[in-house]
Structures are given as structure tokens and as C-alpha cells.
Structure 1
Amino acid sequence: MNSLDRLTGFYWVARTGGYARAVRAFPYPITEPGVHQQVRRLEAELGVRLLRRAAKDRMVLTPHGRALFDVVAPFLESLRVTVDALRAGSFGGVLRIGAAALLVQELVPGWLRALHRRHPEVDVTLTELRAPDVALLRSGELDLLVDHLPEIPPDVEVREVGRLWGFLVLPAGHPAARQPRVDLRRLTDLPFLTFGADPASRALQRRAVEALGGSAKERFAADSTASLLGFVAAGLGFSVVPAIHPDGPRRSGVRGVRLRLPGSELPVHAAWLRGVPNPMLTAALEVAPSRQA
């Protein structure tokens, strides 16, 4: 099928019930013979009758015409709405966001609330990521990635939308938790709990423990901060985890000690593919959280 014009002519005749009425409703200037020609050419192309005359100025759909109209009408109507919205500078659709589990829980909800208040027409799909992966931006699976990126590729743009602070966490009931300063040598009875899915995060954990003079006797691994904190609260070990708040993770049964080591404070990046215009992404960035002090 070579011409959208032919489908448009057919659609307006079917919708209005006649050629004269179709001319008056048409989205651009056209004559009645012009509409007749569009419909005739479409029927010739398909090899079936689409409309029949029920009265002097009234056309009705044939069974073939009804089958085609049921498919064409939703398409042309949504196309018209989209074109009008683009011309008016408005927009809608789905913004695809991927974020680390901690950020899904504690940073993204307020951000999405602000976006919805300003642009209720934008729908969002949110994917919880086990590790930051800019390949999801390049493949088009995500429009926006929210996480700490250890390295920023040249084809990716970023904005800082928060901070992550590193905390040593241990069971609140452990004797070492009652001391003003935690000595890792007093945690030799506890295994070290690590991130399982993200090698970069696991390496940061190990370096932090080594910098504090401890050893890493690993036993359990988990894919999220919430899971690690649950293990710690259950007395299964100690860990190093990020927190979105500078006063530490908020979990009962856990004592957190903020790390004062190089690399223990990291930026949270909002990342997107460079040079790919997306009005919904622009709208989200307009209400993005600012960096925390």
C-alpha cells in the first residue's frame, strides 16, 4: 500500500458517512472529486469494494470496508493526536529508567513524584538494576540510567543528582558495636558480606576493609544493599554498604559507622546517551534532585 492519502480519504468518508461531509472534515484542503479518486484507487489496489451508497449523499461500509476501518481508524486518530501534540510542543509516552535498588527505594520515588506533578502525561517504566550498564542506553532499552558510574564513556552525558556515602555496618548487638570506634580486629568472629552481582562494588568493599586494617573472610553475597543490611541485622556478618543519607542506613538492628577514606563518598549519576533528543528525558532532568550537601 503506497499512499497514506488513500487511507485518509477512505477514513474520512467512512467516518462522516459521505463524500461532501468528508471534504468539510478533511485535515487539509481537498475537492470532492479528489476524495472520490483516493477511495477508488484504494479499492483498485486492494481489489475489493470498501464503501457502498445507501442514499444519495450517504455512504456505508461493506464488510471488507469495516475490517479495514477497524484497523485504520485507531492508527489515523492516534497519529493526528500525536502530530497536534508535537506541533503544540507537548508530549507524552513512556520514559524508561533503570536504577540501582537503593536508589529505586530512596531517591527515584521523589523524583518521579515531581515529574508527575509537572508532566502527568509521561508514563515511566522503572527497572531495578543489579549493576550499572551503559549498554542498556546504547541499545535503547533505557532512556535514563541512575547509578554511580565508575567511568563515563564519551557517548554518555551525566548529571550529578545525589551522593553515596560508604558505611561500615555491623550487628547492633555485637560487642564491638558498643564501642565509640569500631576496630575491625574485634570482628574476626564475623564473616564479611559482599555484593554478588557487581564486581566494581565488591572491589570497593574489599579495598575499604583492607584500608581499615581488617580482613575479608567472605561467606554470604547479595545483590542489594537492603539484602546485605538484612543479613547484618540477623547477625550473619558485617559489611560495607552505600547510603543515600549522610547519617547512614536506616535499619533497625544495624550500627553504621561512616567511612572517612578516599573514595568512600561517590556521586550518583543520571546518565543518558549523548545526542539523542528526548523531550520526556528533558522534562525528567528539569525536576531532577540536586546534589546533597
Structure 2
Amino acid sequence: MIQIQRLEGFYWVARMGGYTRAVRAFPYPITQPGIYQQVKRLTEEVGVELFTRVGKDRMALTPAGRELYAFVAPFLEGLPHVARSLKTGERGGTLRIHASNLVLRHLLPPWLGRLRGARPDIQVRLFESAAPELARLRLGETDLLVDHLPELPHDVESREVGRVKGFIVLPRSHARARSRTVNLKQLEAEPFIGYGSDHHLLDLQLRALALHDVHPRQVHSADSAESILAFVAAGLGFSLVPSFQPEGPRAAGVVAWPLTRPRAEFPIHAVWLKSRQPAPLVAAAMSLAPVFER
């Protein structure tokens, strides 16, 4: 079995291009004969020359030496970083986050900007999901969910990181656009624009309408809040949409009123699997999560 010390001697001679310079660069005290013996024994073990002399104290790698160096260098150069991360608990890597379209567009950008500034060693992969991906979380296929969950399961940890409110939206050209309040019952005969692919959000919309005894006769579908607002701005109908903005969604050609009866507010939670100690990447992200105040 090849000893690490022999690979270490080989690495420094290859990196510095000679034995004298390798002695000066070595991370601990060692003599030139000591390094020479490490390389000599490694050469005997692999059975092929690793260096060729090109000057008084200049050594060049042979083709076999270049192949070995390409394998050894990343390992030895990465060891100090691994040792530091084990000591401090700050381990880099890839953090996988599944979130709804609304969260991806409005909540996550400033949050992830803070994370990138504090921990550039953490890479983030974002995935849009139409509904909370609890199955993926339990299977280990994602690390963090950020979404509205009607119920929080017992096997997860969570923290509220935001809250969205429901708003009635009408075209700015609508006859009631300048009214202080809007009665949903007065809009029942008009087309309603609902979520098409996200059945969870469409169900919330229709339940809110039903509480006002409103049952739309015609429903158009759109795949996102932005698409719904574009349809409304075009005069194709009215809708109910969630927004992080206290005054409601800001879109050209659209006016908004808060849905006050019932008061429609939905908490947004960051959710991760329950464990004795949170995964380091999740803990790093949550340390910079938005602080939501009711």
C-alpha cells in the first residue's frame, strides 16, 4: 500500500519543480534527503519513473508522473479546507431548495443574496414546485421547502419566514376600478381567472369565492400569478391572487383590494426534516432567513 507521506513528497517536488524548493515549501520541517527517499520508494512501489532531471535542481514530470500528480494534487490541496470545515462546522456543498413560483420570485432572492455573501462555498439549486414537495424532502431529494403548507407534519422542523395576503384584482379600465371597496358578489357574472396547473392554489381561490357565495360562470386558466395579472390587465376578467406586498400586487393596468371577509392570510414556512442536529447547509441558510414579525 502506498503511504501518504511518499505521495506528499512526490507532490511537493512536482509542484515546486525540484528538491531544494520542495524542502522550503514543505508544510513541516524535512530534509532534502528525506524527500528524496520518499520519492525513491514511491517510484519503486509503482514500478515506473515519475521524474526526469532537466537541470542541476530541476525535475520534470514524466507522462506517468503527470498522471499521478493529476490524481494526488486535488486531494492534498483540499485537505486543509476539509480540516477547517470539520473544526468550524462550516461545510460547503450544494443546498437544494424547492419553492413555489411566488416564493422564488419575491422571497428567496434577497435571502439567497445574504447567504451567498456570507457563505460563498455553498451552491444553491432552486426548483419550482406547484405544491409542497414533502415526498422529495422525506426521500432526501431536497433539503429545504419554502411554501405555504396547510398543515405542518410531525416529522419536520419549520419556521415562518413570510406571509402572503389575498387580494381582489380588477382591470384598471373596469367600471369599479375607482371604488374604495369591491363586493365579490357584484363580479359573479364576469369571467374569473384561476390557476391552471396549480390545483392547490385554484382550490384556495374557489373556496374563498364560495365563502362569498360567488360561483363563477366562466373560468379562464393561467399558470402563475404574473400570467393571471396579465390576463386581468388585458380586461379578460377578475381574480384573487396572493401577494407579499402590503398594498397588493403591483402590475400595470391592474388595481387591487385586500380580501377582508374572510381575512385571507397565508403563512410561508421554511421546512426541513426533523433531526437531532440540523444539516449544516440548512442551518447556514436558516441563520440568514427573513425574520417575520406578525
**TM-score of the superposition, structure 2-length normalised?**
0.81
For residues 91-121 of structure 1, give each alpha carbon's deviation from its aligned partner in whole angstroms, at most 9, with x where no partner exists. 5444333322222222222223333444455
What SS is found at the alignment partner of 2:205? helix
Question: Are residues 1:70 and 2:70 paired?
Answer: yes
Equivalent residue number for residue 289 of structure 1: 290
Please say which of residues 196-205 and 280-289 is displaced more in the overlay. Answer: 280-289
* Aligned counterparts of 1:36 and 1:138: Cα–Cα separation in 2: 53
Retained in 2: the 8 A contact 1:131–1:197?
A: no
**Would you say 1:95 and 2:58 are equivalent positions?**
no
1:213 corresponds in structure 2 to: 213
Q: Is the contact between residue 194 and residue 218 of structure 1 (CA under 8 Å) also seen in structure 2?
A: no
Q: What SS class does the counterpart of residue 113 from structure 1 fall into?
A: helix
The answer for the alignment partner of 1:240 in structure 2 is 240
The verdict on how the C-alpha distance between 1:65 and 1:150 changes in structure 2, with shifts beyond 3 A counting, is same
CA RMSD of aligned residues (A): 3.3
1:224 aligned residue:
224
The offset of 1:239, in angstroms, is: 1.7
* CA separation of 1:191 and 1:89: change in aligned 2, threshold 3 A: same
Q: Name the CA distance, whole Å, in 2 between partners of 1:28 and 1:139.
A: 45
Amino acid at match of 1:137: L
Deviation at residue 244 of structure 1 after TM alignment: 0.8
Residue equivalent to 1:14: 14
Report the CA distance shift for 1:16/1:93 in structure 2 as closer, same or farther (over 3 A): same
Do the aligned partners of 1:148 and 1:267 also contact (CA within 8 Å) in 2? Answer: yes
Q: 1:160: Cα distance to partner? A: 0.4
What CA deviation, in whole Å up to 9, does each residue of 1:218-240 have, x standing for no partner? 53322221111111111112222
Hey, what's the Cα distance between the residues in 2 that align with 1:222 and 1:3?
63
Q: After TM superposition, give the deviation of residue 241 of structure 1 in Å.
A: 1.2
- Name the counterpart of 2:267: 267
2-structure distance, mates of 1:29, 1:196? 69
Q: Give, in whole Å, the separation in 2 of the partners of 1:167 and 1:2.
A: 68
Report the residue type matching 1:187 in the other structure: L
Aligned residues of 2:85 and 2:91 also touching (Cα < 8 A): yes
Q: Is the 8 A contact 1:176 1:187 kept in 2?
A: no
Structure 1 distance, partners of 2:292, 2:75, is 43
Q: Which runs of 5+ in 1 are unaligned?
A: none
Partner of 1:150: 150
Report the 3-state secondary structure (helix = DSSP H, G, I; strand = E; otherwise coil) of the residue aligned with 1:83. helix
Q: Deviations over 1:52-72 (max 9, x none)?
A: 455786543211101221343
Q: Which has the larger displacement, 166-175 or 181-190?
A: 181-190
Aligned to 1:126: 126
Which stretch shows the higher mean deviation, 58-67 or 200-209?
58-67
Task: Give the deviation of 1:193 after TM superposition.
Answer: 1.7
Q: Deviations over 1:237-276 (max 9, x none)?
A: 2222111123211123222222234572111111222236
Give yes or no for contact 2:189–2:217 (8 Å, CA) kept in 1: no
Letter matched to residue 107 of structure 2: L
Q: Secondary structure at the match of 1:175?
A: coil
Give the direction of change, closer, same or farther, for the CA distance of 1:139–1:21 in structure 2 (3 Å limit): farther
Structure 2 vs 1, CA of residues 84 and 203 (structure 1 numbering), >3 Å: closer, same or farther? same
What is the CA–CA distance in structure 1 between the aligned matches of 2:233 and 2:139, rounded to whole Å?
A: 39
Q: Which amino acid aligns with 1:228?
A: I
Aligned to 1:250: 250
Residue equivalent to 2:169: 169
Change over 3 Å in CA distance of 1:87–1:259 after alignment to 2: same
CA 1:203–1:43 in structure 2 vs 1: closer, same or farther (change >3 Å)? farther
* 2:176–2:182 Cα contact (<8 Å) kept: yes
Deviation at 1:163, TM superposition (A): 0.7
Q: CA offset at residue 200 of structure 1?
A: 1.8
Q: Which runs of 5+ in 2 are unaligned?
A: none
CA distance in 1, matches of 2:123, 2:201: 31
